[in-house]
Structure 1
Amino acid sequence: MAEAIVKNGLEDYYHYRSEFAEKAAENEDELLQKLKVFDDESILQEFVESQQDASEIQLTISGINCAACGWLIEKQLAKLSGVLKVGVNVSARRASVTWNNKKLKLSQILNHIENIGYHAKPFQPEQHEASFRQENKAFLKRLGLAGLMTMQVMMLNVGVFFDLFGHIDPQTKQYFNWISLLLTTPVILYSASGFYSSAIRALRAKVVNMDVPITLALTLTYVSGVFATAQNSGQTYFESLCMFVFLLLISRYLEHSARYKASQLSANMLEYMPSTANLLVGNQITPVLAKSLVAEQLVLVKSGEMVPIDGVILEGEGQLDEAMLTGEFDLVSKSIGETVFAGTVNQLGTLTIKVNKSLKNSMLNQINILQNKALLSKPKIASLADQFSQYFVMAVLVISLSSYIIWLQIDASQALWITISILIATCPCALGLATPSALSCAVAHLNSKGILLKRADALEQISQVDWVALDKTGTLTEGKFTIAEFFCAPELDKAQCLQMAASLEQYSSHPIAKAFSELPCGYLVSDFSAKIGQGVTGTIDGVSYKLGSQHFIGLDVPIQMQSCNAFLTTVDKVLCGFLLTDKIRTSSVELINAIKVKQLTLLSGDIPSVVESVANTLKIPNWLAQQTPEDKLKVIKQAQANKHVVLMVGDGINDGPVLAQADVSVTLGAGSDLAKSSADVILLDNSLEKIGLVFAIAKRCKRKIIQNMSWALGYNLLILPLAVTGLLSPWMAVVGMSLSSLIVVVNSIRLLK
């Protein structure tokens, strides 16, 4: 196995080709040598995300036909020493691989994928789209050939079946059989090649997939026809064989197109990926590739142009269409100092933008990556379906063999065709599609509404949530603080206290700091530090000061400052108090009305009077005030210990630990980077009421998965006895199997509406 690990891939060769070859011309040593170009540092920087010893890459995989292909790739890559995590999105033909870069090289991973029987290369939007179009074209060619040959063979056999020419002599019938064999052979060798290659990959990996019984049935039908034709005895079913392949390909093609549509709506966003930019150097404008831009460069965006990069406006004002990020079509006004994002469209005005992120690290690309990661995560029901389908295929093979032996004793002439009917009718394709098709469509729907889902399996947990915790500051409220009241010790200068407070808060990233941003900063601060969610400390003119909550300062508060929620103190004295207020979001009321759970709790680090006021306004029955991040974490853990499924909604740096601890977590697009990295769901336009949509889609998705699974299992349990008893002919079997898969896909697509 270790030897096989070192020999696996196929990227360099395919990376520089416009078409995929069926087989590599080189031997494995030559192939591995070519693939070593992908271990070059410049290549890794472009395609690979690395953190210490862990590296991650998004790959385009060609040759994927169904859910069984994704399962096979995941299982085989997981066996490589050094691979930490692997997930395959069948719909988008994408894979995400995380590995230990000290134990394994990228070239070895690519080589292993090739040895499994698939072609892989680092994901690039343009080439990914080109590979889909090429696969689609090849699909249509195979489908077209199968359809053409089916018509010709059917026409030849109509005369034989109905004896339209009067009495057909044996020589003429034999001639028709040879012509039918000639026409059927390219259908088996070319049109059905995808089924055979898929089955061979599985058998090489010592597993069975859904294409194994199909290819076995096709082979038995073809071989029996060849012998019958050569010996001029027995019955041939060449017309049925061609029709089997034709109908199977129609089914697979429709599934392929439907899954691709869902994946495009959900994750790729390729039409929004900018390609060029107007680089501004002095007064000269130079067209350049958007991906070549680096931080601190200046770009010019005219009216009607797409913003090529994430950056900050230095000059000009604009009206931007950010629908591709938020799902909202109202134009957003942007002016000097505000951030704009790659892929949005400047509808009015001219902007000079300073680049602050490369295209690779832009929000658009990060959303694309996160969406694809979401579709790689599987809920428990999907994993169970994958495992069940493997056992089911084995059971079908055993039942088919047993039926063949029994029917040889009953009616030998029917034994083969009944066996073929069983193999085709009971193929668990619908079972394999039941979960991924529903998840893809659900994620697509949410994405179109400006809701970014980082884990598709979170949908399964959301449907089970019965305990919701809400942060206040910046979540239920806008996070735009103002100083409503200010109390100062009589012997102190008010202006001096305000300046000291402003000087301390200018180094803080907490939303509270914005309340002091308009005040003058007249002091130099040293030894500054911040305690997440509680306050800040710093030294001014040799004196240590604290500014934060009462819990943070650790001192008794004077009576006149009891209504305050932030205090400026020295080591032993409270200097002044501030009552900081924040406006409640208009969407908070809609959120509370939309969430129907057993327990709803407001968790806040603010003082009781303020928290109680917000809770009463929003009619939240349970609230806890002056909660530190550690306190919030304890509350969440206690709820989970009581067997609750917890959803946490937060946006600040102090919410990172609880967002990570909760079963499902939601944050806002305006939230901190830490909150967004910890959360499972991101509301890109900060509309809290959309959490209700997440709950609704999660419940609908769960229902669709259950419906799909019930249909797939019910169909197979119903069709199996009909096939075993000989009541189901082979052509009926292939029609039933194809319709079963299509019903599952069509049912899932309803989630897009």
Structure 2
Amino acid sequence: MQTTNCFHCGDTCTGTPITFDEKPFCCAGCKTVYEIFSSNDLSYYYDLQEAAGTTPKAIEGKYDFLDNEEIISRLTEFNDGAVQIVNLYIPTIHCSSCIWILENLNKLNPQVTNSQVDFPQKTIRVTYKQEGISLKELVLLLAKIGYEPYISLEDFEGSKKTTDKSLLYKLGVAGFAFGNVMFLSFPEYFDLGSSAASGGEYWLNKYQDVFRWLMFVFSLPVVFYAASDYFVSAFKGLRAKILNIDVPIALGIVVLFLRSTFDITFNLGSGFFDSLTGLVFFLLLGKFFQQRTYSFLSFERDYKSYFPIAITRLTPNGKEETVPVQEIAKGDRILIRNEEMIPVDGKLTYGNAQIDYSFVSGESEPVSKKIGEQIFAGGKQLSGVIEMIASKSVSQSYLTQLWGNAVFKTDKATAFQNLTDSIGKRFTIGVLSIAFLATAFWLFYDPGKALNVFTAVLIIACPCAIALASPFTLGNMLRIFGKKKFYIKNTQTIEQLAKIDTAIFDKTGTITTTQKSTAHYEGMPLTPDEESILKNTIRASNHPLSRSLYDLLKEQDIITLDEYEEHIGNGLKSSKDDIKMKIGSANFVGKFTTENLMDTSIYISSNNAYKGRYVFHNQYREGLSSVFKNMSETLNLAILSGDNEGEKERLEALLPKLTPLYFNQKPETKLNFIKTLQDQGKKVLMVGDGLNDAGALAQSNVGIAISENINVFSPACDAILDASKFQQLYQYILASRKSIQIIKMSFVLSLLYNCIGLYFAVTGQLEPVIAAILMPLSSISIVVFTTIMTNLLGRKLS
């Protein structure tokens, strides 16, 4: 009787299948999901992968607890009354089709504004409008299309999910079976069963068949439980027409099991159950080692200690102090300046809050908040200075998640990862070809060795070591850079940094430091009211010159401004009572004469009347000349500054000859300048202060923000460099290049190992069990090699 498979989930249809649109379905749930996809123009889901769906379950009344506001507030990571963001664990995510449909939830319900899948973690982060769809309705929608979330008490309490111990259980089963099968195989190893002695045969000969069938029994949980992940992975890869590295492994296990079962059934021998269980055990042992190593790297790269983000905390007596953001505790009073990110959840206590939550939710419309209302971490203040009371301590991992938010990821793809994937795919095809050719040869020359050769080739030449070289090398470099106060977003950034051939620098706040700047005032004296408005206006700004001048001015009472505006690249506007002030560039405040305008200055006007200016004496970062001299040996350099040419002669004396200097550059001009270079085939590094350079940082291949004592955290940048490590910038670039060389050396080592192993396997000199031991050892050796080499490289960094 011919079986019919469900068009949606691929399961066998028991009984009479439900037919709809000339397609069979196993149940009404699968038929409904197909209707939903078809009516919402999502039928491309089935083109990605045949029978990719899962059977939806009946869940009526199961999620009624999601009507409780307290539970909703605990489960959601962001909830401002209009937009909610929730992270849900979905165990049934298993393929590219799942990712595609889950990241297109907005087509099923337009109230879902964004959905991002983390495939390794099997989670989805959904941003949705609360008025249009509730959390309960969202969960029901996911369950209806076959992706029911798993929500537990741990999620409600905010605790960490327990570690998946399934690999440990499988390793235990495989190890137990391997030990027993080896013990039962001793008579076969020493040929005791067929030996004779005075008085008759060995008693072992009488139980030989029992021992062999016991080995068969011990192999069953190994094949059907411990090795199940390899079969599932290989099947999904083949179904998606992808030849992954688990295909030859699964094939080897199947061949060993079937051949061994055939041998003992027809009494042809003891089979290869020892090799089979040993293969699975050592494969899982290598996998366990990899998992533990990844966990170690993840722990070492704890982002709580990574970002040099500082925030201004107000002491009980009203003094301002700069502290690391992770030191903020519940109940602290925090000062948030214009364009500064809110680091913790809390309540607004002072000022006019216009908060841009696009960093969190993707919604670009600013949200107004009144005193006493809740404000959330990740928002950016857009209208002057505000004060807040922290309602919880800082969750740095939350800010890390924001930094990696796919909304802000630009197309900075690397070719090196594609190279790794390409090598793995071609290697697998090569291995299968060699295995079949070698087996065909031995079937003709010596059939007794054919199976051993086939399985040994499949096992020894698995490209696992090649696949491990890149993530372990770059992962360890990520950790090392972090310890050296160079905080990189991800491993792809290291790959890109190794390829750059052009470096562009901003001037103010990047190659200059505000720590030692001095300034003097030229012009008409300011009235006490004007001095107070000036101090309170620049108090709200995060521009390096504003911060420097704020520290130099005398103390003033804190007042609430009637109006405040910051014009990026130009200056500040504010008003209080009947006084309106402009603070910024000469043109911005209405100073149109060219006399003495070449100095770095902040100009001031009051009620449209020019008052005067503060002239700054820039202090360049220590070691600037040596940094540029060293970098100029291998990189093209340039300065892009928004300031005037007042420092041109001084810079020409400090920098290598013929270094291009461009002044009066607006933010959009910097971005276009970098884009022009990229159109010429250049790989561009942009180093800025993270404020006015956001566009240029995002456009560049690698954007590095220099951090001093202010909050420069920016989604546009790829890395944050502590200002104290500016002199080591070129060392970090060279270290990135050397890490790529380490990966290439690992490739060579892996290929060399595989060539040697293949020689012994093809010539029939390598037993499958030995190959099973050597394969994970090769992976471990690559991990050890990359770890040692990157640690040696890290020691050379100061």
Q: TM exceeds 0.5?
A: yes
- Point out where structure 2 has 5 or more consecutive residues left out of the alignment: 1-7, 10-28, 35-53, 106-113, 308-325, 335-342, 350-376, 378-386, 793-798
Does 2:57 match 1:29? yes
Change (3 A) 1:354 1:56: closer
2:467 to 424, 432, 444: 432
Which amino acid in the other structure matches residue 576 of structure 1?
Answer: G
Which amino acid in the other structure matches residue 284 of structure 2?
Answer: L
Correspondence 1:126-525 to 2 at 5 A: 126-128=159-161, 130-132=162-164, 134-135=165-166, 137-138=168-169, 140-142=171-173, 144-160=175-191, 171=206, 173-202=208-237, 207-234=242-269, 236-267=271-302, 355-356=389-390, 358-359=392-393, 362-367=395-400, 370=403, 379-390=414-425, 392-393=427-428, 396-397=431-432, 400-401=435-436, 403-405=438-440, 407-480=442-515, 484-488=519-523, 501-502=534-535, 505-506=538-539, 508-514=541-547, 515-516=549-550, 517-518=553-554
Which amino acid in the other structure matches residue 557 of structure 1?
Answer: T
Change (3 A) 1:523 1:378: closer
Partner of residue 782, structure 2: 744
Determine the C-alpha separation between the residues in 2 that align with 1:607 and 1:519: 30
**With structure 1 as the length reference, what TM-score do the two structures score?**
0.71
SS at match of 1:678: coil
Which amino acid in the other structure matches residue 606 of structure 1?
Answer: D
Change (3 A) 1:357 1:7: farther
Does 2:607 match 1:598? no
Deviation of the 1:29 alpha carbon: 1.0
Deviation of the 1:747 alpha carbon: 2.4
2:662 to 620, 624, 637: 624
Partner of residue 94, structure 1: 121
Q: Once the two structures are superposed, what CA deviation does each residue of 1:312-362 show, in whole Å capped at 9, x if it has no partner? A: 9x9xxxxxxxxxxxxxxxxxxxxxxxxxxx9xxxxxxxxxx9843645x63
Which amino acid in the other structure matches residue 716 of structure 2?
Answer: S
Determine the C-alpha separation between the residues in 2 that align with 1:46 and 1:507: 34
SS at match of 1:654: coil
Determine the C-alpha separation between the residues in 1 that align with 2:59 and 2:66: 12
Contact residue 102 and residue 117 of structure 2 kept, 8 A: no
1:82 to 78, 81, 104: 104
Contact residue 178 and residue 229 of structure 1 kept, 8 A: yes
Change (3 A) 1:526 1:480: farther
Determine the C-alpha separation between the residues in 1 that align with 2:723 and 2:246: 44
Determine the C-alpha separation between the residues in 1 that align with 2:275 and 2:159: 40
Contact residue 481 and residue 580 of structure 1 kept, 8 A: no
Deviation of the 1:384 alpha carbon: 4.0
SS at match of 1:580: strand
Q: CA RMSD in A?
A: 5.1
Which amino acid in the other structure matches residue 259 of structure 2?
Answer: S
How many residue pairs get aligned? The number is 655
Partner of residue 613, structure 2: 577
Moved more, 194-203 or 656-665: 194-203
Partner of residue 568, structure 1: 604
Change (3 A) 1:590 1:57: farther
Contact residue 647 and residue 663 of structure 1 kept, 8 A: yes
Determine the C-alpha separation between the residues in 2 that align with 1:401 and 1:392: 14
Determine the C-alpha separation between the residues in 2 that align with 1:587 and 1:55: 48
Partner of residue 283, structure 1: none
Change (3 A) 1:75 1:582: farther
Determine the C-alpha separation between the residues in 1 that align with 2:144 and 2:333: 41
Q: More helix by proportion, 1 or 2?
A: 1
Change (3 A) 1:532 1:354: closer
Matched-pair identity in %: 22
Q: Once the two structures are superposed, what CA deviation does each residue of 1:666-686 show, in whole Å capped at 9, x if it has no partner? A: 113457767522111023575
- Point out where structure 1 has 5 or more consecutive residues left out of the alignment: 9-25, 64-69, 273-290, 300-307, 315-341, 343-352
Q: Once the two structures are superposed, what CA deviation does each residue of 1:690-736 show, in whole Å capped at 9, x if it has no partner? A: 53453244223212322233344454455446544534432343234
Determine the C-alpha separation between the residues in 1 that align with 2:163 and 2:31: 27
Determine the C-alpha separation between the residues in 2 that align with 1:510 and 1:645: 28
Contact residue 583 and residue 604 of structure 2 kept, 8 A: yes
Change (3 A) 1:503 1:240: closer
SS at match of 1:243: helix
Change (3 A) 1:525 1:676: closer
Which amino acid in the other structure matches residue 367 of structure 1?
Answer: T
Contact residue 296 and residue 355 of structure 1 kept, 8 A: yes
**With structure 2 as the length reference, what TM-score do the two structures score?**
0.68
SS at match of 2:661: strand
Change (3 A) 1:746 1:399: same
1:664 to 694, 702, 712: 702
Determine the C-alpha separation between the residues in 2 that align with 1:140 and 1:271: 35
SS at match of 1:601: strand
Moved more, 537-546 or 700-709: 537-546
Change (3 A) 1:505 1:139: same
Determine the C-alpha separation between the residues in 2 that align with 1:586 and 1:372: 35
Partner of residue 546, structure 1: 582
Partner of residue 680, structure 2: 642
Moved more, 581-590 or 164-173: 164-173
Contact residue 488 and residue 494 of structure 1 kept, 8 A: no
Which amino acid in the other structure matches residue 121 of structure 2?
Answer: R
Contact residue 371 and residue 452 of structure 1 kept, 8 A: no
Contact residue 57 and residue 98 of structure 1 kept, 8 A: yes
